Amino acid sequence: MRSVDEHLADVLSVVKPLHPLEVGLLDAHGCILAEDVVAAAPLPGFDNSSMDGYAVRTADLAQVPTVLPVVGDVAAGPASPLRVQPGLCVRIMTGAVMPIGADAVVPVEWTDGGIAQVRIDRRPDVGAYVRRTGEEVTAGEVVLKTGSHLGSAQIGLAAAVGRARLFVRPRPRVVVVSTGSELVEAGTPLQPGQLPDSNSLALTTACIEAGAIAYRVGIIPDDGRKLLDALEDQLVRADLLVTSGGVSVGAYDVVKEVLSRLGTVGFHKVAMQPGMPQGFGTIGPDSTPVFALPGNPVSALVSFETFVRPALRRMLGADQIARPMLSAETSVDLQSPAGKRSYLRVWLEVRDGKYVVAPVSGPGSHLVVGMARANALALVPEAVEQIPAGSAVQVMLLERRGQ
């Protein structure tokens, strides 16, 4: 039996960040930047107004209220810059180029809004409501550093400094296969002994949530030849393979049989509950990593969280490969088998300013309802068999959107 930490260390010694690739901005979203992005030009690129109002010479507003003739109109967009002579002003819109000679903008709210002439009630400071060239970013400045996560704001910034493409670590392409002669496509009427293949759906979407591109191959029966053929077919498009089922010691556990003969794949008992039988190694000409996860649906997902997700985050080039963890108080006694790390499905909430958890199901690795209701996993260490109510437990936060 090996520990969770030993198995994870084995996985992370094999899995490396993917080689950078240049992609368009929309494809870069969610990826990790693999270059420093330098602004080729200053930001703002030209002096412009931050308000709708009037571009003025502040020297003309020694006394207010005062009335100035309006000699032109300037909107956002390309135009040769206007000039404002002393004693005159120009109506200006947000984002429009500042006229030559003007040194401030009077917001329309400080005026009567006139078109041929305008009454100005307040005097702005020099430079008021003008965004100066290079005020935010100077040409040559690094605006995004290597290793940055590219969310929507970072993608917008890259576009704002004139980039259409970026070097990023690409999203890993994951092929998900489920094995078991008892499995049928979800939605198919069931014969006795059959059940819907839920793992390939759960694992494919879990890969997507982790930032990967996932291809769901679906069901392969417990037949060594068919499994081998499928894996060989899929290797060309996979940076990583994930199988579920067939890794225990049963007579028809063909994944273990077939994969242990290929590449460097090893099968281990890992001291965790759920998820004890685990296969991992590399296969094929490119030494593609492969995870052979246990078939019980909760075991498959907990194994994904524990080993596959960190591997995918590593391939993406992320610094933070682990889920966020926090310490919470358990509201009931928690039990765990000796010598194993337990991953209990819990609901985490804030009560009286404290994080509190309670289990949402029993420990069984087939209890899919509990897994779907949980928003966190409580981790009970190997050496601990009981955590009494009111004590602290470490909790891994799961992804729950819209809550």
Residues forming the site for Mg ion (CB under 5 A): 180, 245-246, 295
**How is the beta sheet containing 104-107 ordered, strand by strand?**
104-107, 53-56, 89-92, 66-74, 117-120
Examine residue 274 and tell whether it contacts ligand AMP (CB under 6 A).
no
Examine residue 248 and tell whether it contacts ligand AMP (CB under 6 A).
yes
Q: Which does 243 bind (CB under 5 to 8 A by kind): ligand AMP, Mg ion, none?
A: none
The closest alpha carbon to 198, from 300, 56, 268, 79, belongs to 300
58, 133, 146, 198: which one binds ligand AMP (CB under 6 A): 198
Examine residue 275 and tell whether it contacts ligand AMP (CB under 6 A).
no
The one-letter amino acid code at 275 reads G
Residues paired with residue 236 on neighbouring β-strands, in sequence order = none
Q: Which does 363 bind (CB under 5 to 8 A by kind): ligand AMP, Mg ion, none?
A: none
Smallest gap from residue 222 Cβ to ligand AMP (A)? 8
The residue with tokens 């032109």 is 72
Strands (E) in 112-164, as ranges, are 117-120, 130-131, 142-144
Query: What is the sign, positive or negative, of the torsion defined by CA atoms of 101, 105, 110, 111?
Result: positive
Q: Would you say 28 or 220 has its CB closer to ligand AMP?
A: 220
Contact 113, 58 (CB under 8 A): no
The closest alpha carbon to 207, from 312, 68, 352, belongs to 312
Examine residue 178 and tell whether it contacts ligand AMP (CB under 6 A).
yes
SS (H, E, C) 328-377: EEECCCEECCCCCEEEEEEEEEEECCEEEEEECCCCCCCCHHHHHHCCEE
Smallest gap from residue 202 Cβ to ligand AMP (A)? 8
Q: How far apart are CA 222 and CA 354, in angstroms?
A: 48
Q: Which does 133 bind (CB under 5 to 8 A by kind): Mg ion, ligand AMP, none?
A: none
Examine residue 245 and tell whether it contacts ligand AMP (CB under 6 A).
yes
Q: Would you say 80 or 191 has its CB closer to Mg ion?
A: 191
Examine residue 180 and tell whether it contacts ligand AMP (CB under 6 A).
yes
Examine residue 148 and tell whether it contacts ligand AMP (CB under 6 A).
no
Q: Would you list the DSSP string of 20-75?
A: PEEEEHHHHTTSEE-S-EE-SS-BSSS-EESSSEEEE-GGGGSSSSEEEEEEEEE-
Examine residue 44 and tell whether it contacts ligand AMP (CB under 6 A).
no
Smallest gap from residue 257 Cβ to ligand AMP (A)? 12
Q: How many residues bind ligand AMP (CB under 6 A)?
A: 19
Q: Would you say 49 or 178 has its CB closer to ligand AMP?
A: 178
Examine residue 111 and tell whether it contacts ligand AMP (CB under 6 A).
no
Smallest gap from residue 177 Cβ to Mg ion (A)? 12
Q: How far apart are CA 293 and CA 365, in angstroms?
A: 13
Q: Would you say 49 or 296 has its CB closer to ligand AMP?
A: 296
Residue nearest to ligand AMP as judged by C-beta position: 295
> Cβ contacts of residue 364 below 8 Å, gap of 6+?
274, 298
49, 111, 154, 244: which one binds ligand AMP (CB under 6 A): 244
β-pairing verdict for 21-24 and 165-169: antiparallel
Q: Within 277-296, which residues bind ligand AMP (CB under 6 A)?
A: 294-296
Helices (H), 104-238: 152-160, 199-209, 224-234
Tell me which H or E stretch contains 313: helix 309-316
Q: Which does 329 bind (CB under 5 to 8 A by kind): Mg ion, ligand AMP, none?
A: none
136, 141, 182, 209: which one binds ligand AMP (CB under 6 A): 182
The one-letter amino acid code at 11 reads V
Smallest gap from residue 50 Cβ to ligand AMP (A)? 57
99, 211, 246, 317: which one binds ligand AMP (CB under 6 A): 246
Radius of gyration of the chain (CA): 31
49, 111, 200, 273: which one binds ligand AMP (CB under 6 A): 200
Would you tell me which residues interact with ligand AMP (CB under 6 A)? 178, 180, 182-183, 195, 197-200, 244-248, 250, 294-297
